[in-house]
């Protein structure tokens, strides 16, 4: 792990690796099949679960990826540094201190305020660093990262960073915790850091943009979960190789959704 300007990055080593998913090798459990059949009947999906998985995942392929430092967490696009004594930040941190005092909980190391920004905090609650959110276009965000010596991950790099070389449907295997969807399941293998130490592929609402504007990884904006589409199809949205071309096109067409754009900055390392 490396601290870069107060933000943790993990080393993702160069490797020739298989990414994508071979749906012909998928051996669904009876529970997965039952869940999918219910969804297929309700939503008009293909009868064969493997056909649907093949349709919703990128094809298997072998790629060469470079050595990268990859941000441990995805961040909202347009983060701009601001003074640690910015009045709004100080007011919000003061409110947080009051809440912590009442609940007796520990002061968090970082805090995020939807639609405003985020801050890194010391144990005593003082502000170590703070950023505000902007609402950039895709090109603006790519340019901002480039100016910092960073960039977006390509789809291949994202899959490798997420799966760490795993050839299973999910980065932890082919099954998932039963009894709900990945957003509702607050504990489970999807909530744990992956083998590179990244918090990735955990929540379908936290989909991430890549270096290809037509490819979004790590979720579907919560579409399947919000629509009550069923357990299996909801979990599939956090599969390492998941693809939803229609959702990606929708995001490109609807500019107002850019303020929800999550990105995972990467820093290329050269010999």
Q: Does pLDDT of 47 surpass 70?
A: yes
Please provide the size of the chain in residues: 271
Residue 56 has a pLDDT of 96
Q: Which of 65-79, 126-140, 247-261 has the lowest mean pLDDT?
A: 247-261
The one-character DSSP state at 60 is P
Q: Which of 61, 55, 28, 24 is nearest to 173 (CA)?
A: 28
Which residues lie closer than 8 Å to 212 by C-beta, 6 or more apart?
A: 154, 155
Tens of pLDDT, residue by residue over 235-246, are 999 999 999 999
What is the rounded CA–CA span in Å between residue 108 and residue 106?
Answer: 6
Which position has the token pair 């918090």? 199
Query: What confidence tier does 258 reach under pLDDT thresholds 50, 70, 90?
Result: low
- How would you write 101-119 as a 3-class SS string? HHHCCCCCCEEEECCCEEE
- Where along the chain do its domains lie? 2-75+146-268, 79-133
Return the higher-pLDDT residue of 63 and 100.
63
| 242, 59 contact by CB (below 8 A) | no
Tokens of 206: 């936290």
What is the rounded CA–CA span in Å between residue 142 and residue 127?
Answer: 28
Residue 271 has a pLDDT of 52
Residue 218 has a pLDDT of 95
Query: What confidence tier does 198 reach under pLDDT thresholds 50, 70, 90?
Result: very high
What is the rounded CA–CA span in Å between residue 242 and residue 162?
Answer: 11
Tokens of 88: 């709004």
What is the rounded CA–CA span in Å between residue 143 and residue 138?
Answer: 9
| Helix, strand or coil, per DSSP, at residue 228 | coil
Pairing of strands 61-65, 208-209: unpaired
Q: Which of 211, 202, 256, 245 is nearest to 57 (CA)?
A: 245
| 206, 74 contact by CB (below 8 A) | yes
Tokens of 30: 């009876």
């Amino acid at each position: 792990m490396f601290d870069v300007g107060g933000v943790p990055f993990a080393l993702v080593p160069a490797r020739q690796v298989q990414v994508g998913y071979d749906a012909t090798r998928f051996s669904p459990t009876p529970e997965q099949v039952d869940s999918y059949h219910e969804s297929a009947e309700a939503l008009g999906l293909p009868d064969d679960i493997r056909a649907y998985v093949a349709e919703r995942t990128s094809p298997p392929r072998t790629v060469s990826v470079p050595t990268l430092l990859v941000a441990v967490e995805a961040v909202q696009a347009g983060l701009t540094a601001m003074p640690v004594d910015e009045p709004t930040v100080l007011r919000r941190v003061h409110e947080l201190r009051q809440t912590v005092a009442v609940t007796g909980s520990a002061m968090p190391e970082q805090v995020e305020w939807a639609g405003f920004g985020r801050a890194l905090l010391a144990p005593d609650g003082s502000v170590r660093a703070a950023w505000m959110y902007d609402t950039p276009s895709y090109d603006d965000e790519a340019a901002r990262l480039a100016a910092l010596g960073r960039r977006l991950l390509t789809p291949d790099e994202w899959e490798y960073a997420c799966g760490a070389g795993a050839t299973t449907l999910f980065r932890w295997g082919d099954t998932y915790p039963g009894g709900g969807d990945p957003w509702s399941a607050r504990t489970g293998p999807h909530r744990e850091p992956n083998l590179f130490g990244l918090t990735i592929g955990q929540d379908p609402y936290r989909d991430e943009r890549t270096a290809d504007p037509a490819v979004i990884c790590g979720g579907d904006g919560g579409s399947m979960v919000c629509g009550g589409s069923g357990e299996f199809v909801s979990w599939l949205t956090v599969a390492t190789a998941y693809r939803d071309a229609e959702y990606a096109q929708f995001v490109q067409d609807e500019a107002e959704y850019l303020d929800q754009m999550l990105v995972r900055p990467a820093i290329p390392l050269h010999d």
